[in-house]
Chain A
Amino acid sequence: MTSPQTAARQPFYGMLLVLVLALGIVLRVYPSSSFKGVGFDEKFYEHYVTRLNKVGLMQYPAIVTEYIENQSQLTYSVLPPMRFLYIFTSHLWSVTMRTDPMTSLHRVACAFTILMLLVSYVFALRLGGKWIALGVLALMCCAPTQIHMSQHALVDGFFAFWALLCLWLLWENLQHPDRPAWLVAYGLGLACMVMTKENAFFAYVAMSAIVIANRWLAFGKVTPRLLVAMFIGPLLGVLALLALAGGPHQLIETYHQSVSKNYTLEYAIKTGDGPWHRYLGDLLLMSPVVFLLAVGELFHLRRDNRIGWYFTLFISVSYLIMCNIKYGMNMRYTNMWDMPMRYMAFCRLAALSSYFERRKNAVLVILVAVVCLVDLRQYWVFFVQHNLYELVSAYLLNAVDILK
């Protein structure tokens, strides 16, 4: 039974939730970025959506063939059409809303960063309850990289949504073994993630590591059906890509061209290199307070903190692969860590505020508000004041006046 006090708090909570969510949506929908041009990647996405609008889905293999032919002539790498789901979703948006390809790509990216907020909220709600969910949602609303992704026609926010969705669904499957609905949803989530971007590999390996580590860290129950779903889901994604590419040879050639040319792309060599701790530095530059809090929480983890380990494992295993990609480091790829990092940061804030005993709730609210403001200021510095589009370290350092 709900106590009168709790009942009185229900509308208050609902109101807060709506307010925070509305803030997050406004921050994403309002065109705040001062970079109004069209980026290198955006041009290619636009081209693919235009082609798809023109030739239709059945002719997708022709688009792939065209890419392979063009790519083999080029000395540098351009993004492949195998990032199908983003292109296809934008195509659908373009057809149904009658908007031009660039606008469609942008709207889809924006819509999925908003959906990311909802997934973050639901995931956090399932993990820690409604107040933690609200706190994580507030932090996610103000995450600079999330807002940045909503402002441009880039795949990374879109991909982060699918990666986070899969991470959540894996958690649900571990808690509720052999539930068909959760299994199907997870399998489909994985298939969609694979069809979105090659980075699915990082997320998939990280999720596999979670499943392996479950033996010791006891996140939940790993059943044969879960393993089958984990196998069939990505397989479906790969099969779909095979069909879209027009055969295995075409698909392999696409990735081969994309990866091998990336090693000779001057821009990648110039901006994607660095030591393993480059991402740590980039994360620190972007959201210093969230980063510090998340690191603090990491070192507070006890063996029985299943949620903490779950996120730590996801971030660290994907980090391990991502930091070993030669000339392939870019802060945009860390979007999928935004929610896990903020969950951990919020936990640390909650622990810090608990020192204040009677006033801990008020202190926690103030602390969350301060972290949100710091993050919003960071967004303003990087993306409004300094007009940033690409999240390479040199530009980040330049924006905060460390490099001049």
Chain B
Amino acid sequence: MTDNPSNAGAATSTGYQPAPWCGISRNALLILLVVFIAGASLRLFGLPHYKRGGYDEVLYSTYVTTLDAYGLLNYPAMVRVYIEDQKTSPTTKLPPTRFLYIFMAYGWDRLFHDSELESLHAISCLFSILVLPLAAVFAYRLGGERMAVGTLVLVTVSPMQIYVSRHALIDGFFAFWALLSLWLLWENLQKPRSAAWLACYTASLALMVITKENAFFVFIAIAGILAVNRWTKFGIVNLPLTLCTLGGGALGVAILSILSGGLDTCIETYLVLMKNASHFPYAIKTGDGPWYRYLYDMMLMGPIVLMLAIGAAFRVTREKKDHLFLLAFIAFSYLVMCNVKYGMNLRYTSMWDMPMRYLAFWQLCAICDSFKTRRTLALILCMAVLCGWELRQYYIVFVENNLYELITAALTHALKIVK
């Protein structure tokens, strides 16, 4: 770690120059706006029409109902009921400690008087739309306007992102907070000791922690990035950044502890969840596999993007800080996620959508650069084909085969690999 005052404000000493905030051209802004509108429309009005509630969705909706009935002050009681229920129940239920999603849906419910399930769905949809500008801004800061446009286009048509917007599921919502935290980490690495960035980063981490247990994977990935910064030189890691990283996580845990009625109750909630999940027949049946299971699942869902991203991963050099940063995030989180026994699900990878698409777009640009004078045309054509392909995948998997759970068995069945 580096905490040298002489380094303060010297982000360029790492050899990286983030794109300036006001440097984006009007044309690029216009394209971004059009793509954003297209993406938002896909998420708001795309097929399939939202109809029913799945297993998880019904549970979330029950929590929202309970919160609505008893109020926020009785949240500890809700957690206790959950623990008692889980101690005797043979099935695993998602915990009420996924507070932020439940609370936001509750807020939406109070504000717009929608049903619980509709409120949850609205929140999911809203945050999967919010991922779009976030992805564009992050990509812009990493690689400039071309990368912002390309990444936004690819995130817009990402089957996974559209899917999480069409259901009352937490994964798109969580992906937003994970991506926000990652971006803010990047900004803090570039602008050390900026109070505003540090505050945002801390708040984002805290909100991520109170969203879902998967925050642990992101936290490990962030810790990994900070640890390897000594060699990779993404930016400057100083004491405030380290403290804010720990503080953000701690703040989230503190909020959860208060909501649970104490730290011990909070820990017990997760222990009960982990214990039950390891015996839950559905998890055993669908969440197992070797370390490359996520790669296989991603290959089924978006083979071209995956291949391009793998290609980009092998072209990473120490000079390409942006690539290395995103790759480190994916690699560290992958390392933890693929080691969770009976705990693998493609839905959890929605937080990699933007990083993977950034890498994929860069790889595509590198390929099209070989066309020299016609590279822009080649890039546009390639992107059009890729987007068409991604939307077709979405259609096959989620519309034609009406998939709800992204387990490998269902995916291979939808693609007719396994009949």
Contact = CB atoms under 8 A, between A and B. Distances in A.
B80 interface: no
B311 A299 contact: yes
Contact of B314 (A277, A288, A300, A402): A300
Interface in B251-297: 284-286, 288-293, 295-296
A277 B303 contact: yes
Interface stretch (B117-125, B237-245, B407-415): B407-415
A298 B308 CA distance: 10
A297 B313 CA distance: 11
B312 A299 contact: yes
B370 A284 contact: no
Nearest to B367: A299
Contact of B288 (A270, A284, A297, A401): A401
B311 A298 contact: yes
A402 B311 contact: no
A404 B310 contact: no
B310 A295 contact: yes
Nearest to A393: B417
B418 interface: yes
Contacts of B296: 281, 284-285, 402
Interface in A256-287: 269-271, 273-275, 277-278, 280-281, 284-285
Interface in B300-316: 300, 303, 307-308, 310-315
A303 B293 CA distance: 33
A348 interface: yes
Nearest to A274: B417
A281 B312 contact: no
Nearest to A289: B292
Tell me what chain A mostly uses at the interface: helix, strand, loop, or mixed. helix
Given A280-B303, A299-B363, A348-B314, A402 B288 contact: yes
A397 B417 CA distance: 11
Contacts of B370: 303
Nearest to B307: A295
A312 to B, nearest CB: 12
A354 to B, nearest CB: 12
A397 B312 contact: no
Tell me what chain B mostly uses at the interface: helix, strand, loop, or mixed. helix
Interface in B362-390: 363, 366-367, 370
A55 interface: no
Contacts of A298: 311
A246 interface: no
Nearest to A381: B290
Given A280-B299, A284-B292, A299-B363, A292 B416 contact: no
Interface string A389-404: 0000110010011111
A270 B419 contact: yes
Given A280-B303, A403-B418, A404-B285, A397 B315 contact: no
Contact of B418 (A300, A348, A397, A404): A397
A297 B315 CA distance: 9
Contacts of A296: 310-311, 313-314
A288 B296 CA distance: 9
A259 B313 CA distance: 42
B418 A393 contact: yes
Nearest to B342: A401
A404 B284 contact: yes
Interface in B393-415: 408-409, 412, 415
Contacts of A295: 307, 310-311, 314
Contacts of B307: 280, 295, 299
Contacts of B311: 295-296, 298-300
Nearest to B419: A270
Interface in B90-131: none
Nearest to A329: B417
A305 to B, nearest CB: 12
A299 B315 contact: yes
A319 to B, nearest CB: 12
A96 B17 CA distance: 74
Contact of A402 (B289, B367, B416): B289
Given A299-B363, A300-B314, A397 B299 contact: no
A281 B417 contact: yes
A344 to B, nearest CB: 11
B303 A404 contact: no
B292 A288 contact: yes
A284 B295 contact: yes
A284 B303 CA distance: 12
A403 B299 contact: no
Contacts of B303: 277, 280-281
Contact of B289 (A273, A280, A297, A400): A400
A388 B322 CA distance: 43
Interface string A289-321: 000110111111001000000000000000000
Nearest to B293: A402
Contacts of A348: 314
Contacts of A394: 412, 417-418
A171 B112 CA distance: 70
A376 B201 CA distance: 45
Contacts of A270: 419
Contacts of B299: 277, 280-281, 284
Contacts of A281: 296, 299-300, 303, 417
Interface of B: 284-286, 288-293, 295-296, 299-300, 303, 307-308, 310-315, 363, 366-367, 370, 408-409, 412, 415-419
13 contacts: A270-B419, A273-B419, A280-B307, A281-B303, A284-B292, A296-B310, A296-B314, A299-B363, A299-B366, A394-B417, A401-B288, A402-B289, A402-B408
Given A281-B299, A295-B307, A403-B412, 4 more contacts: A281-B300, A393-B412, A394-B412, A401-B290
Closest CB pairs A-B (n = 8): A299-B311, A296-B314, A277-B303, A402-B289, A274-B417, A288-B292, A401-B288, A273-B416
